[in-house]
């Protein structure tokens, strides 16, 4: 994607195509669950310094997966807010078994290493 998406509807399929490798998606799920857990524990226990770990956990897993698995530039650098929303959306859809149609529509399942179950 050479230019920024004008709408979130345009961005979502792009985001999924940038996460074509199942291992990349798994790393994102791990980071999202860990980051969300850190956020919740920090808020519940009022351990405010732990909030510093939230972006480290979330972005750490994601950026490592993009660098070493997907070998592309994270969508965060193009649309940070939409990327964060999409990460949670992708994780929710995967955990509820609803991601496959979105991957199909985005053309991700045509990817040689694609696995619809992830």
**Domain layout of the chain by residue ranges:** 10-110
How far apart are the C-alpha atoms of 41 and 50, rounded to whole Å? Answer: 8
Q: Which residue has the tokens 């291992």?
A: 23
The model's pTM is 0.89
| Structure confidence by residue, pLDDT tens digits, 57-105 | 999 999 999 999 999 999 888 899 999 999 999 999 999 999 999 999 9
| Structure confidence by residue, pLDDT tens digits, 41-56 | 999 999 999 999 999 9
Q: Which residue has the tokens 């920024």?
A: 4
Could you tell me the two tokens for 18?
Answer: 């940038």
Could you tell me the two tokens for 62?
Answer: 């994601």
pLDDT tier at 4, thresholds 50, 70, 90:
confident
Task: Identify how many contiguous H helices and E strands the chain contains and give both numbers.
Answer: 5, 0
């Amino acid at each position: 994607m050479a230019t920024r998406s004008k709408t979130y509807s345009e961005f979502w399929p792009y985001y999924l195509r940038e996460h074509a490798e199942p291992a990349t998606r798994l790393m994102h799920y791990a980071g999202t669950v860990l980051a969300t857990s850190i956020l919740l524990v920090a808020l519940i226990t009022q351990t405010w310094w732990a909030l510093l770990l939230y972006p480290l956990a979330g972005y750490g897993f994601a950026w490592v997966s993009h660098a070493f698995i997907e070998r592309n530039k994270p969508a965060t650098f193009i649309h940070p807010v939409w990327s964060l929303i999409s990460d949670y959306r992708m994780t929710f859809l995967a955990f509820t078994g609803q991601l496959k149609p979105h991957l199909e529509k985005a053309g991700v399942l045509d990817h040689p290493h694609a696995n619809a179950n992830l």
